[in-house]
Structure 1
Amino acid sequence: MIGEGADARDGIRTALRSPVSLITAKDVAREAGVHPSTVSRSLDPEQMARVKTETRLRVQEAAGRLGYRPDLTASSLRRQRTMTIGVLIPSFGNPIYGDLIHGINAELEPHGYQGLMIETPDGSDRLSPALETLRGRRVDGIICATSRSEDRQVLRDLVDSGMPVVLTLRWLAGLAIARVVNDDRLGGFLAGQHLVSLGHRRMLEIPGSEDIETFADRSRGFRDGLAAAALTPIRHGERTTTPDVSEGRRVMANLLASGVMDGVTAVFAQNDLLGIGAIEALRSAGLQCPEDVSVMGFNDSPLVDHLDPALSTIAMPMVEMGMRAGREILRAVNGQDTEHDVVTVRPTLVPRASTSAPAQAARPAAPAD
């Protein structure tokens, strides 16, 4: 029994002395019949294009058989890079950001980079501390999807410090920072045009926060869409502080209580969460969507097509936007001049059950005398 125990302990010691990490590039080179430097290039996403495909595949197969993993820390020290990109988003709770992050990672990972995600909620003062955290982690660049008007100087200082930065989804006018954004003015125009085409004549907006340029552009586009039919949205003084369901519900309830909604047959909510809240408030007041009031959203968030009624909306290509933002930050990290780059993606109209012709427009005309 004692011998068996000793043998077992010896086996454990042997295993501990031979972890996967002890396999070196020289071992892989010997297995693949190449020079160790070829191993490094074959497993480095930034250099593998310099190696013939046949050789690269042979090295990668040998590395897989031996269980070799490159020492990323040593590689980062050699390059003086951490191979990480900070990504700032306003809400982990808003499902549209999942697609944005997916697109960013799809572009970064083949190049050996990883995204470091941080939430900086709207209405908080967490942007500056988040940026300091990322700088402390020595990220190689930052993708920011959270910018509001009060962040202008913080972002300008960040760029002046030499940090590569790309704005996406949200942007700020007057900053020399690369941006990858949706054409929000076109999206607002499509929303207005859609409601006009259904026969609506009295419409209003549930606006997003006024310090976010994205929402201001959606409003401009909506007014353009109505102006093409010689219409203007009904004015009111309600604003939202955060673009979420509770704010949509609160604003719609206030509009109903104030009487502003009298005769209004359609509402454009400047994002889907606001639209969902608006429908809830209408329902609580005994009104139905779209029979009494049509509601239009913006974003085409996951699952809005499963609501009752399914939400009409403007779809943004979030994955594409994320991929292009990833591409821009890699260009900036690699020393290319990107500060004046503006990449704009196009939204599309997605009509669903929450918008229909207004009831009065659907009634047959009264017979002539």
Structure 2
Amino acid sequence: MTEPDLLRRWPGNPLITPEQLRPSRLDWKVDCAFNAGVVQAGDETIMLLRVAESVAQVGDETICVPLLEADGEAWRCTIKTLRLDDPDYDFADPRMISLRADPSQVYLTSLSHLRLARSGNGTDFAVDETPFLFPDTRYERFGCEDARLTAIEGRYYINYTAVSDYGIATALAVTDDFREVERLGLIFSPDNRDVCLFPRRIGGHHWCLHRPAPKHLGTPDIWIARSPDLLHWGHHQRLAGAVPGGWEASKIGGGAQMLETDRGWLQIYHGVDTDQRYSLGALLLDLDDPRIVRARLATPLARPVEEYEVTGFFGNVLFSCGAVIHGDELRVYYGAADRVMALGTVALPDLWAAMGV
């Protein structure tokens, strides 16, 4: 019999569902509201949701795909219409449409943007009606996804996945007030995602976790790098890898932004088994040298068991992009089944005991 998860689900889960959100365009619909970055800003818990939208379809013979196209030097959102009986395309995957002659050439069936939600208690969120950061560059042609929020030196940095037909890259933006936002450009080229920033310098350097996805040799593992300015990253080193035979046998990747504790730097990450089941795990890194792994949770912090975690746009997925420490409690905000947002909590003393620290 499987032991119960260490992470306790919030009784009001899911916290946010796509049905609660207004689409950004009248002829679109919200499919998913998930994988949100989270940060504490004064008395507010700020969430930056990934909102995936698709075009409301009319008729059964065509499918309309939202994407960015070139308009002079700018990139504008438009709609591409494809016939479902077109033999040149494969429509079997609901998430994407691929060219049969070259499966690497794809269109996504939805376009993601980032939208703010705010809460005074960390559980009841009011979601903005309009996007905070909407795709508008060549490298965001297929969307902006899976943001992380990190407070660094008085500013709020947003790293997010920029998706295009060029691949999956990582971009950086910054805001001071969650009203205006400045794009700073790409910081990791394709294919690289799951970047988790540290909230302060260590040894004079900024640090981050990242997750390259090698296509020829190797597996997707968690790497660590450092930077003088958050833009230029080097001194790359593999930090942690998948563990054969269990819940993280296929791949692992960074989840929430790094959290500083008296025991070390805490990272809530995801592990994927050979059945593509996503669970949550925990790493603890040395405070003075984050290249050193001090502890690693042997069993999942949480695995998909609830109905909203098992069934959704892509089922059996727990994926965290944000967590906060509230007193002696860790609050983990996570996307469930690639469709909704949920919350789980664990007492830090219980987590330290499970990790043996």
What range is the shorter-chain TM-score in? under 0.3
* Greater Rg over alpha carbons, structure: 1
Greater percentage in helix: 1
With normalisation by structure 2, the TM-score equals: 0.25
Greater percentage in strand: 2
